């Protein structure tokens, strides 16, 4: 395979170029040295240099692959194209696009998730999940800076994680079962968000006993 790297690549450029190739080999070898060496050979990169691009080993390989998926998702569904959809449609489209990108690599994804599920990797896995959820919300046009910024990403991360669990074993045509599951999960979230807004509105409109008593004591305020 001809190199797609510049003449004097940085380690970041090497890492980005190797990530999707490592993921291909990971279906058979896992995210380890064998997949790394194979990918480096295909790109004509010295194996020792390739190892320098992934000092954290398998975790860094998964990290780079997921970042590549995030970038590919953003390339397919840029914010300006999503802007014509309602928020539910934007999030659904982004999750489905991400799954489409992963469809040929389900075994690699299974290997990646198994690695991230190790107790020592759980905080790292949480950061990767947050990053992907944040990427999707930003593409969807979210600009929240209050607690909603965090709650939206936490909820989407949970929805995406449970959808991936279905996706990994889905043998239905065009992953119809996964898409239906995702639609149900998002529907449940939208109902919950609607309930929150109605509850907040009721609280705002509810008469305040303290204000009423204050007006009795201090008329004209």
Q: And the tokens for 88? A: 């539910």
Integer Cα distance of 26 and 196 in angstroms: 43
pLDDT higher than 60, residue 115: yes
pTM assigned to the model: 0.85
Any idea what DSSP says for residue 3? -
Integer Cα distance of 131 and 138 in angstroms: 10
- Long-range Cβ contact pairs of 93-96 (< 8 A, separation 24 or more): 94/136, 94/139, 94/140, 95/136, 95/159, 95/160, 95/163, 95/182, 96/179, 96/182
Integer Cα distance of 160 and 195 in angstroms: 22
Burial 123-153 (b: 16+ CB within 10 A, else e): ebbeebbebbbbbbbebbebeeeeeeeeebb
| pLDDT, tens only, 26-77 | 999 999 999 999 999 999 999 999 999 999 999 999 999 999 999 999 999 9
All structural domains of the chain with their residue ranges: 1-55, 78-205
With tokens 């395979």, the residue in question is: 1
Q: Which residue has the higher pLDDT, 88 or 191?
A: 88
User: What's the confidence (pLDDT) of residue 2?
Assistant: 40
For residue 189, which phi and psi values (nearest 5 degrees)? -65, -45
pLDDT higher than 70, residue 211: no
155, 167, 154, 161: which is closest to 100 by C-alpha?
Answer: 167
76, 99, 87: which is closest to 164 by C-alpha?
Answer: 99
**Three-state SS for 148?**
helix
Average pLDDT over residues 74-86: 95
Q: Is the separation of the CB atoms in 99 and 175 below 8 Å?
A: yes
Integer Cα distance of 66 and 131 in angstroms: 9
Q: Is the separation of the CB atoms in 53 and 15 below 8 Å?
A: yes
**Three-state SS for 143?**
coil
Element (H, E) at 37: helix 33-43
Mean pLDDT of the chain: 89
């Amino acid at each position: 395979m001809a190199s797609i790297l510049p003449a004097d690549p940085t380690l970041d450029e090497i890492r980005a170029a190797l990530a999707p190739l490592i993921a291909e080999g990971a279906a058979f070898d896992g995210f380890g040295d064998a997949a790394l060496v194979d990918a480096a050979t295909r790109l004509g990169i010295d194996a020792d240099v390739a190892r320098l691009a992934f000092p954290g080993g398998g975790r860094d390989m998964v990290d780079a692959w997921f970042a590549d998926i995030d970038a590919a998702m953003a390339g397919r569904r840029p914010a300006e194209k999503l802007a014509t959809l309602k928020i539910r449609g934007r999030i659904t489209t982004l999750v489905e696009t991400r799954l489409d990108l992963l469809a040929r690599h389900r075994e690699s994804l299974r290997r990646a998730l198994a690695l991230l599920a190790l107790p020592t990797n759980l905080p790292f896995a949480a950061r990767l999940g947050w990053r992907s959820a944040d990427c999707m919300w930003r593409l969807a046009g979210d600009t929240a800076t209050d607690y909603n910024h965090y709650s939206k990403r936490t909820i989407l991360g949970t929805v995406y994680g449970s959808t991936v669990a279905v996706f990994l074993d889905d043998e239905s045509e065009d992953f119809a079962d996964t898409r239906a599951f995702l639609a149900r999960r998002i529907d449940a979230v939208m109902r919950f968000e609607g309930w929150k807004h109605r509850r907040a509105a009721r609280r705002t409109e509810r008469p305040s006993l303290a204000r009423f008593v204050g007006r009795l004591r201090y008329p004209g305020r």
